Amino acid sequence: MTMSCLRFRFLLVLCCVFASSFLMIKALVVGHADCRPDQIQALLQFKNEFESRACNQTDYFNGVRCDNATGAVTKLQLPSSCFTGTLKPNSILFGFHHLGYLNLSHNNFTSSSLPSGLSNLNRLQVLSLSSNGFIGQVPSSFSILTKLAKLDLSHNELTGGFQLVQNLTKLSILDLSYNQFSGSIPSTLLMMPFLSSLDLRGNHLTGPIEVSNTSSSRLEHLFLGHNHFDGKILEPISKLTTLKDLVLSFINVSDPIDLKLFSSLKSLLNLELSGNIISATSISSDPDVPPKLNRLMMKNCNISEFPKFLKTLQNLERLELSNNRIKGKVPEWLWSLPRLSIVSLSNNSFNGFDGSAQVLGNSSVTMLDFSLNAFTGPLHAPPLSIRLFLASSNSFTGDIPLSTCKRSSLEALDLSYNNLSGSIPQCLSKLKIVNLRRNNLQGSIPDTFYSNSLLQTLDVGYNQISGKLPRSLVNCSFLRFLSVEHNNIKDVFPFWLKVLPDLQVLTLHSNTFYGPLGFPELRILDISENNFTGRLSPDYFVNWSVSSNKMYGDGKMYMGDYTDTLYSYFYALDLKYKGLLLEYEKVNTFYVAIDFSANRLSGQIPESIGLLTTLIALNLSNNSFTGQIPMSFANVTQLESLDLSCNKLSGYIPQELGSLSFLAYINVSHNQLMGEIPKGTQISGQPKSSFEGNAGLCGLPLHETCSDTSAPPTQRQKQEDDQEEKEVMNWKGVAIGYWPGVLFGLPIGHIVALYKPEWLFKIIGRPDRGRNR
């Protein structure tokens, strides 16, 4: 091909790029007709200040509003996880002087201080900067933002006191929760003339609190939980008679809380006291609690008897008494409270229910959790309008009530860790969550899953289930979690499950599955202790899927199946990790775990294992794998547990394993490995048993010292060269599909500016020269 022809094609590419950019900007201008072109351009420049590949251009501008008269930007709301980087003091953002609404929440301004330039935006009425990783003190210049009605700085690492808000007299909502603020709460803060909501949870605040002239207070929502108050704060708070929400969970006061202190709060609807000690007299007597209460949270309060005063709360909708020491039977009158909807009695010592077997069935409860107690006998029929029914970790016996299938509203059913027997109900298809783990259920899984089933989780592990996996599971397009481990199922690998788009966890552990392995597009795959055979292809892990993550309040990501504004349910999983079989109460979505142990797999471990950068646990032990340990393990930087024991692996242990900083457990015993064990803190701390059974290994922690002849340099160099060549060949398929997009995408700005087609030709025409760069 001639150089002139190449130049022509290159110019054609540039024209397409320019045309695409022009059309994009034109679309933005048309879509925001009220915005001046210079404001659009400034917004694009602001976006370019950060790493924003995760920021969809359309979503970014969906949060933009401009004044229809002046064309100036008046509102900017970034999408979540849009920006990564540092919010610089000279950011173009601070030139949008007409902004009245600015929301930058849920981004990642790593280790940034709050720029004082934000005070230039003196027309702001709403400023939300939560969940961004901001550090340090809030600039004193914030005090000139006197038009602010809402200020949200929650979930950062900010420090200091409350001087910054003294001049913000128009504030209606102030949220400084989950930071590092310290000191006491000034009375002026509680008495601000328009303040209706104050959230200071999760800081390092201390007491006491002084309250004077409460008649001027308009405070309705006060959240002070998870602090370290060391003084008298309850009595001053009881004078804030306009309160509707009061959250005092885990405030570490030294004296037991007397519920009578809240009798003056006649408008109070929500009272949260979890994590504090409640006085025994408050529980045993009938204190004059606020009569309008519809939400009462008292978990972890060391309560030993059922509170009698609850009988008077006819407006009560939600009751939380979990993690206490309450014994005996649940009183029958509880279920007659007319508006009661959500009840959690988990982790106590209840052993039964007062009244007949139908006592639950006639109640208005929609979410009921009495797991982790001492209930015995047959399981009671759930309430008629039940949505979530959790009765795990008790000693219920007998069959699962047939009436369970007649509850048309039921979405989540957890009867795990009981002694239930009989067969599995036929109505699974209409539920979202089914957890029947660790019972004595028999028969087969019903083959009754209809099209468009809502099922997301099915766990029947550790029962006596037989037969085959029901093929109608292919109709469960929302299925994410499937566990049938420790049963008597005899079947081939369920290749047909590949059609399920959301399946992330599949555990077939300890059954009689047989034949070759199928698709790997999962987060967690446990097929250990079966009869699987065959080899894994070199590209076996290339298409391992990576799905979206959901962030929860504790800063972690889970595959939570059932969540709404009132209740969340997370499923558990047994996973062999660091040589131990552990139960994970919440299954994280940000990692990959693989257990293929105790099968009859053979061949080499695929080099494509190096693509699983979020892999934390890999167990390939007790198989017949041969060949060398892949050098691509060096790319699996998050790896914490690696078990390759009891195989037929040969060659050297890659030195790169010694640099994996998170590798806390490694076991390569009983193979045919040779040479020196890699040096490194994580490796040298392993027990001798992790390397024994390899006649050719030497070095710590083994007693055998390495001689000069243990690993001839020429032989070793040839082995490593052969390994590298094989690695390159195996990864070519991945590179061919991935790198052209990067090569065209990343340098395009330099190409446009400099126009060097020869340079472009070298990159595209000679990829072999870039392999070691």
Spell out the domain ranges in the chain: 1-31, 34-160, 184-289+296-314, 326-411, 521-538+562-711, 719-770
Q: pLDDT band for 586, please (50, 70, 90 cuts).
A: very low
Q: pLDDT band for 64, please (50, 70, 90 cuts).
A: very high
Q: pLDDT band for 252, please (50, 70, 90 cuts).
A: confident
Find how far residue 378's CA is from the centre of its chain: 36
Find how far residue 376's CA is from the centre of its chain: 35
Q: What is the pLDDT of residue 492?
A: 95
What integer is the mean pLDDT of 703-722? 54
Q: What is the pLDDT of residue 300?
A: 96
Place of tokens 């105790």: 598
Q: What is the pLDDT of residue 552?
A: 38
**Percent of the chain having pLDDT more than 70?**
81
Residue 270 has pLDDT above 60, yes or no: yes
Residue 435 has pLDDT above 90, yes or no: yes
Q: What is the 3-state secondary structure (H, E, C) of 200-268?
A: CCCCEECCCCCCCCHHHCCCCEEECCCCCCCCCCHHHHCCCCCCCEEECCCCCCCCCECHHHHCCCCCC
Q: What is the pLDDT of residue 534?
A: 92
Q: What is the pLDDT of residue 378?
A: 94
- Smallest CA-to-CA distance from 158 within 142, 171, 146 is with 142
Q: Which residues pair with 108 in a beta bridge?
A: 84
More confident residue, 519 or 260: 260
DSSP assignment letter at 600: E
What integer is the mean pLDDT of 65-76? 94
Q: What is the pLDDT of residue 575?
A: 55
Q: What is the pLDDT of residue 16?
A: 45
Q: pLDDT band for 755, please (50, 70, 90 cuts).
A: very low
Residue 31 has pLDDT above 70, yes or no: no
Tell the burial category of 438 from Cβ atoms under 10 Å away from its Cβ (0-12, 13-18, 19+). Answer: buried
The top-scoring range by mean pLDDT among 222-226, 285-289, 516-520, 691-695 is: 222-226
Cα–Cα distance between 304 and 17 in angstroms, integer?
71
Tell whether omega for the bond before 767 is within 30 degrees of 0, i.e. cis. Answer: no
Cα–Cα distance between 661 and 638 in angstroms, integer?
8
Residue 720 has pLDDT above 80, yes or no: no
Q: Which residues lie below 8 Å from residue 552, measured CB to CB, with a gap of 6+?
A: 558, 560, 568
What integer is the mean pLDDT of 179-190? 89
* The domain made up of 184-289+296-314 is a member of CATH 3.80.10.10: yes
Q: pLDDT band for 591, please (50, 70, 90 cuts).
A: low
- Specify the CATH architecture of the domain 521-538+562-711: Alpha-Beta Horseshoe (3.80)
Do residues 489 and 511 touch, judged by C-beta distance below 8 A? yes
Rounded to a whole number of angstroms, the CA Rg of the chain reads: 31
Q: pLDDT band for 151, please (50, 70, 90 cuts).
A: very high
Tokens of 287: 């204190």
Cα–Cα distance between 558 and 551 in angstroms, integer?
7
Backbone angles phi, psi at 212, to 5 degrees: -135, 155
Task: Work out whether the CA dihedral 351, 357, 362, 367 comes out positive or negative.
Answer: positive
Q: What is the pLDDT of residue 766?
A: 30
Cα–Cα distance between 100 and 708 in angstroms, integer?
74
- Classify strands 327-330 and 270-272 as parallel, antiparallel or unpaired: unpaired
Same fold, 34-160 and 184-289+296-314: yes
What integer is the mean pLDDT of 713-734? 44
Say how many Å lie between the first and final Cα of the chain, rounded. Answer: 27
Do residues 192 and 170 touch, judged by C-beta distance below 8 A? no
Tokens of 347: 């982790």
Do residues 380 and 354 touch, judged by C-beta distance below 8 A? no
Q: How is 618-671 classified by DSSP, letter by letter? A: EE--SSEEEEPPPGGGGG-TT--EEE--SSEEEEEPPGGGGG-TT--EEE--SS
Q: What is the pLDDT of residue 616?
A: 86
Least confident of 28-32, 55-59, 342-346, 757-761: 757-761
> What pLDDT, in 10s, does the model give residues 368-420?
999 999 999 999 999 999 999 999 999 999 999 989 989 999 999 999 999 99
Cα–Cα distance between 259 and 275 in angstroms, integer?
15
Q: Which residues pair with 573 in a beta bridge?
A: 584
Cα–Cα distance between 145 and 114 in angstroms, integer?
14
Tell whether omega for the bond before 256 is within 30 degrees of 0, i.e. cis. Answer: no
More confident residue, 358 or 714: 358
Tokens of 608: 């494509």
Least confident of 34-48, 69-83, 226-240, 269-283: 226-240
* The domain made up of 34-160 is a member of CATH 1.10.3720.10: no
Q: How is 681-729 classified by DSSP, letter by letter? A: HHHHTS-GGGTTT-TEEESTTSSPPPPTTSS-HHHHHHHHHHHHHHHHH
Do residues 324 and 346 touch, judged by C-beta distance below 8 A? no
Q: pLDDT band for 217, please (50, 70, 90 cuts).
A: confident
Q: How is 530-581 classified by DSSP, letter by letter? A: SEEEEE--TTTTTT-------B-TTS-BB--SEE-SS-EE---EEEEETTEE
Give the 3-state secondary structure of residue 397: strand
